[in-house]
Structure 1
Amino acid sequence: MRPPKSPKPAEPSTPGSGPKPGGGGGTTSPPPGRPAPPPAPAALTLSAPQRAPADKRWCEKVTVEFRNTGGSPARSGTVTFATHIIGALGVDWATIRSSQSLPAPIAAGVTRSETYTVCVESWRVPLGMRVETQDVSAVWE
């Protein structure tokens, strides 16, 4: 019967070789000959609309703050406003959607504020009624 083999001693490791703590990855740069991964896409968050009266009862000035938390600029897009027609007794009679251009470009990490004049057709807002732009959304590229 043969005696069991003793384990072979481990070879000494050099600095930088072997697994890295935390599961391993090396550097964040791409290997030579490969392009760097593209930056993260633009990601806009919008503030609640800040409303102010305009010179006509069927219009109002709406200020929106756009914050790009993504890694790329928002190059173009559309802002959509949901304007409610409110009666004298507070009844919400209708919601009219309208769109305008995004104040592009909005660079990555930048906050930009824009004031829009939002109007509906005058016949939709008889005397005693008013408009309120309550919701704002946006799409971008």
Structure 2
Amino acid sequence: MLVVAEVRRAPTDERWCENVTVEFRNTGGTAVRSGTVVFGTHIIGALGIDWATIDSTHALPAPIAAGTARATTYLVCVDSWRVPLGMRVETQDVRARHPS
């Protein structure tokens, strides 16, 4: 079983991107050899209104041995036109998917 244990966000020079560091913990009995991580990036307006959520996927940092953890930093971006001046992104949702 693969668990998303910790998520840390950091801004970039572009308001439509973030560096998102994710720690994955494999609590199962076998190695995770492949899969994807899905990021739900929220577009937040100047007044704090959540206007939209855009999903993106990246590859898991496989393999992750049984009983171990691995942290990886991803550059998560949405299309620049989706984030007008005064708005920002927040990657709030992170899910790991891998074959059973």
Q: What TM-score, normalized to structure 1?
A: 0.69
Report the secondary structure of 1:47's partner residue. Answer: strand
Deviation (angstroms), 1:72 = 0.4
Task: Report the equivalent of 2:17.
Answer: 59
User: 1:106 is matched by which residue type in structure 2?
Assistant: I
Deviation (angstroms), 1:130 = 0.1
Work out which of the two has the higher radius of gyration on C-alpha atoms and give 1 or 2. Answer: 1
**Deviations, residues 109-140 of structure 1 (Å, cap 9, x unaligned):** 11100000000000000000000000100111
Describe how 1:29-108 pairs up with structure 2 within 5 A: 43-108=1-66
Identify the structure with bigger relative contact order (alpha carbons < 8 Å, sequence gap 6+): 2
Task: Report the equivalent of 1:128.
Answer: 86
Contact 1:49/1:133 (8 A) holds in 2: no
Gaps spanning 5+ residues in structure 1: where? 1-42
User: 2:55 is matched by which residue type in structure 1?
Assistant: R
Report the secondary structure of 2:25's partner residue. Answer: strand
User: 1:131 is matched by which residue type in structure 2?
Assistant: V
**Distance in 1 of aligned mates of 2:40 and 2:5:** 14
Measured on the aligned residues, the alpha-carbon RMSD in Å equals 0.7
Percent same amino acid among aligned pairs?
A: 70
Gaps spanning 5+ residues in structure 2: where? none
Task: Report the equivalent of 1:37.
Answer: none
Q: Is 1:115 aligned to residue 68 of structure 2?
A: no
**Distance in 2 of aligned mates of 1:52 and 1:94:** 20
Q: 4+ residue stretches of structure 1 with deviation over 3 A?
A: none
